[in-house]
């Protein structure tokens, strides 16, 4: 079976959608935060109302980085070099010593704060956002405890990570799980795919210990969240953002229900991260094949490629 016809010509193009660039706690009104994603120097801060602001960081005057030494004053950010000031729309509002305001403009990004994280909308054709990151009630519920997070940089692409979820066989061969009863919903044109399966518990594999059922939702081109059911009830969010072509950041956050307890939650997080490292080692060293030779034991990888292709259109 060939799936070449539904794969973008250049895999490492940047897809369109919402991408995580910071945790909510990283941005403040006191000091700008330097960021680097999509091959661009960026800066993040909070305006006078506490709203997150993300824009390119290179001052159009002489190229200084607004995130290194820049000053936030009200709703503007002041360049540390010659004190040009830029508003929330990226326009220069004032330049130190100038009689007239220069025609300076910095690219800004549609920005939302969801589930304790900051996301920007990226579209190479500059289209407006037409869908939203879902609100996950566990992230704000008093019944759930925040366990911790894991952040790493991977030489891969979000599409590869999404295809990995549709590779049902690798759950057995790589992770040594014994998942059964796969129920996968994936329709081209919809924003999300949903994968559900039962797990045969194995006390030697912490990610599935005390878990009876998993529900993994892939939303847009870079956002995944997994709900775990059984004596361990928890939520894990897995998010990606390209830094340069072929390299991306990976952020995982964990919440556990009070009934499961924080100690069980920490053990689950440690097991998840260890299990995830097995995927990373393979994905960082594999070659992407646009026309893989498939067997009848493989999962619906070609359907996932078709679904993911909409983020390049």
> Does the structure show a pLDDT above 70 at 204?
no
Distance CA 130, CA 121 (A): 10
pLDDT tens readout for residues 225-279: 999 998 889 999 999 999 998 899 999 999 999 999 999 999 999 999 999 999 9
pLDDT tens readout for residues 72-124: 999 999 999 999 999 999 999 999 999 999 999 999 999 999 999 999 999 98
What are the extents of the domains in the chain?
Answer: 17-122, 137-312
- Cβ 193 vs Cβ 186: under 8 Å: yes
DSSP secondary structure string for all residues of 104-170: -B--B--EEEETTEEEEEE-TT-PPP-S-PPP-GGGT-TTEEEEEEEEEEESS-HHHHHHHHH-HHH
What are the distances in angstroms from CA 283 to CA 74, 158, 166, 277?
A: 45, 11, 14, 10
CA atoms within 13 A on the CB side of 63: 1
CATH class of the domain at 137-312: alpha beta
> Does the structure show a pLDDT above 60 at 165?
yes
What percent of the chain has a predicted confidence (pLDDT) above 90? Answer: 73
Assign 201 a pLDDT band (cuts: 50, 70, 90). low
Architecture of the domain defined by 17-122: 3-layer Sandwich (2.102)
pLDDT at res. 21: 98
pLDDT at res. 189: 83
Assign 10 a pLDDT band (cuts: 50, 70, 90). very low
- Cβ 104 vs Cβ 92: under 8 Å: yes
Give mean pLDDT, residues 185-193: 87
Mapped onto helix, strand or coil, the DSSP state of residue 309 is helix
> Does the structure show a pLDDT above 50 at 183?
yes
DSSP 287: -
Assign 13 a pLDDT band (cuts: 50, 70, 90). confident
pTM surpassing 0.85?
A: yes
């Amino acid at each position: 079976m060939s799936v070449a016809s539904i794969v973008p010509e250049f895999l490492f193009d940047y897809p369109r959608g919402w991408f995580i660039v910071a945790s909510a706690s990283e941005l403040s009104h006191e000091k700008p935060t330097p960021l680097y994603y999509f091959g661009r120097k960026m800066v993040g801060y909070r305006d006078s109302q506490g709203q997150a602001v993300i824009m390119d960081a290179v001052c159009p005057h002489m190229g200084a980085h607004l995130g290194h030494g820049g000053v936030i004053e009200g709703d503007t950010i002041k360049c540390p070099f010659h004190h040009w000031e830029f508003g929330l729309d990226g326009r220069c509002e004032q330049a130190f010593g100038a009689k007239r305001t220069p025609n300076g403009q910095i690219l800004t990004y549609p920005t939302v704060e969801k589930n304790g994280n900051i996301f920007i909308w990226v579209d190479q054709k500059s289209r407006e956002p037409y869908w939203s990151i879902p609100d996950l009630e566990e992230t704000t519920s008093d019944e759930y405890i925040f366990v911790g997070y894991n952040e790493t940089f991977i030489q891969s692409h979000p599409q590869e990570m999404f295809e990995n979820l549709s590779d049902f066989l690798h759950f057995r061969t790589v992770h040594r799980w014994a998942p059964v009863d796969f129920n996968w919903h994936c329709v081209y044109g919809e924003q999300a795919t949903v994968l559900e399966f039962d797990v045969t518990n194995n006390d030697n594999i912490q990610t599935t210990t005390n878990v009876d059922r998993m529900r993994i939702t892939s939303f847009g081109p870079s956002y995944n969240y997994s709900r775990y059911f059984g004596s361990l009830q928890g939520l894990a969010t897995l998010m990606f953002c390209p830094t340069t072509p072929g390299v991306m950041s990976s952020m995982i956050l964990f919440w556990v229900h009070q009934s499961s307890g924080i100690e069980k939650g920490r053990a689950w997080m440690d097991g998840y991260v260890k299990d995830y490292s097995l995927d990373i080692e393979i994905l960082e060293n594999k070659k992407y094949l646009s026309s893989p030779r498939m067997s009848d034991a493989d999962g619906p990888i070609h359907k996932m490629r078709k679904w993911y292709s909409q983020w390049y259109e």
